[in-house]
Structure 1
């Protein structure tokens, strides 16, 4: 009897899941890297339009709220239409937003192009892309997720200096055009490598061979409606909401805190880059550790680590102690971002993971919108950052305790697998 050879055997062909991870890296690199280029344009915009520094914070808050909050729309759409389409649309919006910013005639038009283009673009692409990565891995899901989102950290390090160089060489308007074309071409191009289901490529998760008698591709998992009604989801949502309220405070207030403590402004700005270095390291290296020690326990450790590092910030006064805080905080923050989508997929399955992650990330959107501004109001009242930083640390302690309690609840996907 003649047999048919398997043409997509994982031992003879590179597992396509790594191409999906690479595409996700590029999407997060361009999306979030483009978002953080705004700081490079502030001086030019102030000079040409007379914009105030205070108004800049509104741009970041609105864009951040959009790219986390829109996941509850883009996630379910990706589960239905495919992550490739949503990621391509999102990258096109990012590129269009940057190009329109370069042709703006008022500062309001710049803000609208940046906030809506970047916010809606990243919101359209981020959650669907992360959801696609989760479906390709089980044993190495944490490692793969960490590699995918490490594009955020690398983009934060690379894109702002690139924008600064382009502004010096071409002027801010043409710099926006170049960045926009780059984002559209490279971002959309990489999106076409994204695929939702390994079974359609002839393999299972992690490259495992498929049963040749298996039926059409099936992805196990609960529905979005079933997921959001579980105690497990409620616990995850509460931990993310409470933690995010404090997690994003350093991104807005670390530099002014350092300046208040006699750190030179040029040196203070480097602290944000230090968070990016730590975050990149955390995303690259901690995901693999999570796969070995258990992803639930690892998530709790990230909350504890962020709480401990924020406590260090509360007592740090000089440049080097703040560098130590920024690096340590970045590592735990990066590990949190990397492992969260994997934990969601572990407990709810891959069938509707985009929609579930999207709804979960509305908690992060709320924290991004409220946390830094609340810390600013607290500083206006007390003229000190001690109270808001302490609250940020305490919030992550509470998040860790809720995560411990959540671990005791049953995993919804376990019931689906048993049935």
Structure 2
């Protein structure tokens, strides 16, 4: 799972390293370039509503193998693009569909393997996203400066396929297939009797708790992915060097990795529902710091803090879904919930780019990003105060 998230998101989050090269190559506006990432993000979160149930039914290996091949093909074809429309077709579709086949199915596997320390396990599994954000953008920048942006995309695409396929063959859907139960204890009962318990996707999406989480995730996602596209251009405009601007994105990766490793365990102790609220509030506060940032130091503070809370949010959200709706259909329910993240990802980075084209300033997009996360924290808090759907169903 670590390698899968490293490949999928580490490669995807190199995007801002290529923005200036593609603007110069195709003469496109910042909004038009940002839309490439937004469309990809919409697909890789939105597709989970399809690939999650497919993983519950058919297993994850074939889906993940298909996904990493699509990711690689997206980068390779984008390296041959002759217009921005070709980039939309290659990168947005290839990477978007590829990560969509990989991410939600892999998350569902982790939830079935762990119960007591589910938050910590989720954090470890998705820490590949943080490490990928730290490692891949500098590598991409080095490849661009050494070769060209087209050759950089080609190298990244080939590497994604080779690493991803190696990880796909090691995925095991359920602990019962190895004679285990969740948390690796004891000997599992026969496979047919260890499917777990929980609400179906249809039952889950009809609950008020799902609706509240859906709205909170949508609002949060509007702002969450803006830094991954616009932090480097923002820093360059404030005369931060190109190398240091890429370091800032890497600092989000450092903070994100720390958040996934350490905060997932904290969430297990203090309560994963309340911890989700805290991560939304933390992202709102850190985005507020970004709105005041001018130099490398202040932007570094933002990047590290934002990364910590973003990492905690990504780590705890799948565990919250499993806690509230049960593990049996968790991949399908995560997929349904993540359509909200897809919509937010489609709106946020692209809107920030188009607003910049109009105002020649990032002030309004950053403040909107902070505000939507603050509102998400309020809605999440109101949502998790009620009884869980699983608890109510047991009373009937």
Question: Which of 261, 265, 290 is the equivalent residue of 1:288?
Answer: 265
Partner Cα distance (1:159, 1:113) in 2:
20
For the pair 1:147 / 2:108, whether they are aligned, the reply is: no
1:206 Cα offset (Å): 0.4
| Partner in structure 1 of residue 350 of structure 2 | 373
Query: 2:74·2:90 contact (CA, 8 Å) conserved in 1?
Result: yes
Mark the structure with the bigger radius of gyration: 1
1:275-312: CA deviations, max 9, x gaps?
22211211122111111111111111111111221222
Partner Cα distance (1:247, 1:169) in 2:
31
Runs (5+) with no aligned partner, structure 1: 1-23
1:235 Cα offset (Å): 1.0
Partner Cα distance (2:123, 2:56) in 1:
21
1:209-259: CA deviations, max 9, x gaps?
146689633221111000000011011101101111222233333344444
| Partner in structure 2 of residue 193 of structure 1 | 170
Where does 1:156-175 land on structure 2 (aligned, <5 Å)? 156-167=133-144, 172-175=149-152
| Partner in structure 2 of residue 4 of structure 1 | none
| Partner in structure 2 of residue 230 of structure 1 | 207
Q: Which moved more, 1:362-371 or 1:247-256?
A: 247-256
Question: Which of 77, 88, 102 is the equivalent residue of 1:125?
Answer: 102
1:50 Cα offset (Å): 4.0
1:142 Cα offset (Å): 0.8
For the pair 1:413 / 2:390, whether they are aligned, the reply is: yes
Distance 1:125 1:417, change over 3 A: farther
For the pair 1:246 / 2:184, whether they are aligned, the reply is: no
Runs (5+) with no aligned partner, structure 2: none
Distance 1:318 1:357, change over 3 A: same
- What is the alpha-carbon root mean square deviation over aligned residues? 2.6
Partner Cα distance (2:192, 2:125) in 1:
30
1:372-418: CA deviations, max 9, x gaps?
33344555666654444333223222212211211222222335667
Query: 1:72·1:359 contact (CA, 8 Å) conserved in 2?
Result: yes
For the pair 1:112 / 2:84, whether they are aligned, the reply is: no
Distance 1:116 1:385, change over 3 A: closer
Query: 2:222·2:347 contact (CA, 8 Å) conserved in 1?
Result: yes
TM-score by length of 1: 0.85
Query: 2:138·2:246 contact (CA, 8 Å) conserved in 1?
Result: no
Partner Cα distance (1:263, 1:175) in 2:
23
Query: 1:128·1:354 contact (CA, 8 Å) conserved in 2?
Result: yes
1:175 Cα offset (Å): 4.2
TM-score by length of 2: 0.90
| Partner in structure 1 of residue 275 of structure 2 | 298
Query: 1:78·1:86 contact (CA, 8 Å) conserved in 2?
Result: yes
Question: The residue matched to 2:267 in structure 1 has which SS?
Answer: helix
Question: The residue matched to 1:139 in structure 2 has which SS?
Answer: coil
